[in-house]
Amino acid sequence: MQNGRMDFLNVSASLTGRRWVGPSVEIDRAAEALVQARGLDRALAQILARRGVEEQEVEAFLAPSLRDLLPDPRSLRDMEPAAARFLRAVKQRERIAVFADYDVDGGTSAALLLDWLRQMGREATLYVPDRIDEGYGPNVPAMQELGRAHDLIVCVDCGTLSHEPVAAAGCDVVILDHHLGGETLPDCVACVNPNRQDEDGALAHLCAAAVVFLMLVEANRQAREDGAQTLPDLMGMLDLVALATVADVAPLIGVNRAFVRQGLVVMGRRARPGLAALADVARMDTAPSAYHLGYLLGPRINAGGRIGKADLGARLLSCSDPHEAAAMADRLNDLNAERREIEAAVTAAAMAQAEARGLDAPLVWAAGEGWHPGVVGIVASRLKEATNRPSVVIGLDGDEGKGSGRSIAGVDLGASIQRLAGEGLLIKGGGHKMAAGLTVARDQLDPAMERLAELLAKQGAGQGGAADLRLDGLLMPGAATVPLVRAIETAGPFGAGASAPRYVFPDVTVSFAKRVGEKHLKIRFGDGLGASLDGIAFGAFDGPLGPALSDRAGQRFHLAGRLEINTWQGRQSVQMRLEDAATA
């Protein structure tokens, strides 16, 4: 028992060391009320209750409408002048450059603008900085060069803290960003950013691509008011907004849910050559889901910015030629495989270093000579997931180190990193609550990390052990049907800020357990009454789960995880994505 609550199924320490926590009495009561009032399936009602959906909100939540949820773009500061300046450049046939970050959010943001311009019969110069040679965001030489050849530079997913580079451009600059702003803004035509310090935070959950989309909504509105008859189809661009929202781990709340739900429908039409080609090389053989965006498409697009040509992802997403798109998708797929190899080596070294330093501190961090800057963010995620601590991983090169950090719920890493930069312990740094980047002098590494740990501790980091596993209820194998999973999916999409439901199959017998590949575990389990279910635990042999369950046929366990539909040779069946287990 902890905080007055009983451990679910009395599991205080599972095979992975986690405490199981079931739904509260209040959620159970709210779910039962939804079942009685609306006739919902109990499993679906439980999800809605956990999300705080009231009885009168059920229909709107299960069918989120962009028309109802889309905020007025003008509610964001500088939106009207940003769209007006953009339209003026289009109307007067000025030279436009798009300066984009090298990740998925930057690539999709750039592709949105390039797609819109192409539909208007215009082109623009795309510029994406090299991660290693130039680093994140606008830099003075690049902005000067672009400024000499262009009348307008639009910075997407970057620029809010780039005072000197923006001033050096020598031409008009519009910034469309979502990273945490400073006390002052660059001297530019407009800086549209829901995370400016003078914003109210109501739209702080938007990714940069969503901000760009809202600017295009405003641009279309202004153009219509000016008499334009034919304008680009914005609904057809929602596949890009959905991809960015999931890949940038933006919380799936409010309008973000509608962006992803409707964007997946658009993506399913395969009208964008770049995404269709990427889906093919990723061997996506089912309708796209949020999982595909986050784990199959996103990493491949990111691979170009991580270890290849920085603008490859943006070029693929804005490509209109299927043959060219196929070639770029193949290249990104190869780069992603190479990235995985580099990541594995850095992860092993970083974990060993972090363990030697201690995993109970408010901050888990590691720094290594020559660690590739393109994978330190992924490795930081691995450390965060393994320790339930904010994590920072830094690659050292010469007198400096460049690193990335990932945070846990309730701990604002971006604000702490920005404060560190303000105190002079970092050369530069910034980001948002859950992710941040930094550059640090080698001789300031230890004091900077010590100070960062202090700041994070004040927010509560380091107070817990392994993360509790939150569960939504019990199921028996016979109840895990395709119709049940389809009903659960109506409460999606699931992801950051809206986790997919987890269920426990209690006291089941493992009838089959086999290692698949190097790290994964395939199992089959049943309740002894004739019903059985397949399960897969990815990466099980990276931790205790694989060894504990392999070769245990005939033994009984409580098994916890998420449900998904597996399609094989045209047949659909339910499969469990196994996350944890405890002896029964």
**Are residues 218 and 133 part of one domain?**
yes
Whole-number pLDDT of residue 566: 87
Identify whether 286 is part of a domain. Answer: yes
Where residue 539 sits, what CATH number does that domain have?
2.40.50.460
Same domain, 379 and 477: no
Domain stop point among 299, 333, 367: 333
| Residues 540 and 577 reside in one and the same domain | yes
Burial class (CB in 10 A: 0-12, 13-18, 19+), 69: middle
Same domain, 430 and 551: no
Report yes or no on 278 lying in a domain: yes
Residue 516 has which token pair? 């698949």
- φ/ψ of 141, rounded to 5, equals -60, -45
Establish if 346 belongs to a structural domain. Answer: no
Residues 447 and 482 in one domain: no
In a domain, 46, yes or no: no
Same domain for 276 and 179, yes or no, is yes
CATH number at residue 179: 3.90.1640.30
What pLDDT band is residue 387 in, cutting at 50, 70 and 90?
confident
The pLDDT confidence band at residue 2, using thresholds 50, 70 and 90, is: very low
Of residues 146 and 496, the one with the higher pLDDT is 146
Of 395, 425, 457, which residue sits at a domain end? 457
Number of domains in the chain: 3
Query: Which pLDDT belongs to residue 36?
Result: 95
Q: Which amino acid is at 244?
A: A
Of 344, 314, 318, 347, the closest CA to residue 332 belongs to: 314
Structure tokens at 312: 């490859």
Percent of the chain's residues with pLDDT above 70: 98
Is there a single domain that holds both residue 242 and residue 317? yes
Q: Is residue 553 scored above 80 in pLDDT?
A: no
| Residue 466 pLDDT | 57
174 and 101 in a common domain = yes
Residues 476 and 328 in one domain: no
Give the pLDDT mean for 259-272: 97
Q: What is the largest CA-CA distance in the chain?
A: 75
Identify the band that residue 213 occupies on the pLDDT scale cut at 50, 70 and 90: very high
- Residue 326 resides in a domain: yes
| Residues 501-506, mean pLDDT to the nearest whole number | 96
Q: What is the pLDDT of residues 153-173, one digit of tens each?
A: 999 999 999 999 999 999 999
DSSP 231-271: ---SGGGHHHHHHHHHHTT----THHHHHHHHHHHHHHTT-
Same domain, 289 and 262: yes
Smallest Cα–Cα separation from 99: which of 131, 124, 132, 73?
A: 124
**Cα 73 from Cα 53, distance rounded (Å):** 26
Q: What span, in angstroms and rounded, lies between the C-alpha atoms of 297 and 169?
A: 34
- For residue 353, is it within any domain? no
| 534 strand-pairing partners | 524, 575
Structure confidence at residue 1 (pLDDT): 45
Contact 396, 369 (CB under 8 A): yes
Written as six digits, the tokens of 90 are 């289009």
- pLDDT of 314-330, one tens digit each? 999 999 999 999 999 99
Q: Determine the pLDDT at residue 3.
A: 46
Handedness of CA 457, 461, 464, 466 (dihedral sign): negative
Burial category of 524 from C-beta neighbours within 10 Å (exposed 0-12, middle 13-18, buried 19 and up):
middle
The pairing of beta strand 391-397 with beta strand 364-369: parallel
Asked if the bond preceding 493 is cis, omega within 30° of 0, the reply is yes
Query: Which residues of 412-518 form beta strands (DSSP E)?
Result: 428-431, 435-441, 469-470, 473-474, 503-516
CATH of the domain at 381: 3.10.310.30
Q: What is the pLDDT confidence band of residue 464, given thresholds at 50, 70 and 90?
A: low
Query: pLDDT tens for residues 18-72?
Result: 889 999 999 999 999 999 999 998 999 999 999 999 999 999 999 999 999 999 9
d(CA 383, CA 375): 13
Confidence of residue 569 (pLDDT cuts 50, 70, 90): confident
Strands (E), 296-339: none
pLDDT at 531 over 50: yes
- 494/503 Cα distance (integer angstroms): 15
Q: What angle do CA 442, 446, 450 make, to 5 degrees?
A: 145
Residues 302 and 270 in one domain: yes
- Residues 444 and 475 placed together within one structural domain of the fold: no
Q: Which of 457, 483, 518 is where one domain is finished? A: 457
Mean pLDDT lowest among 3-7, 132-136, 352-356 = 3-7
Please compute the mean of the pLDDT values over residues 75-96 and round it to a whole number: 98
Does any domain span residue 283?
A: yes
Domain that holds residue 284: 69-333
Model-level pTM? 0.90
HEC secondary structure over 145-184: HHHHHCCEEEEECCCCCCHHHHHHCCCEEEEECCCCCCCC
pLDDT computed for residue 30 by the predictor: 95
- pLDDT grade, residue 86 (50/70/90)? very high
* Model pLDDT, residue 384: 92
Residue 275 lies in a domain: yes
Q: What is the mean pLDDT of residues 540-557?
A: 86
Q: Where is average pLDDT lowest: 99-108, 263-272, 410-419, 466-475?
A: 466-475
How many other CB atoms are found less than 10 A from the CB of residue 158?
28
Q: How confident is the model at residue 386 (pLDDT cuts 50, 70, 90)?
A: confident
pLDDT of residue 4: 43
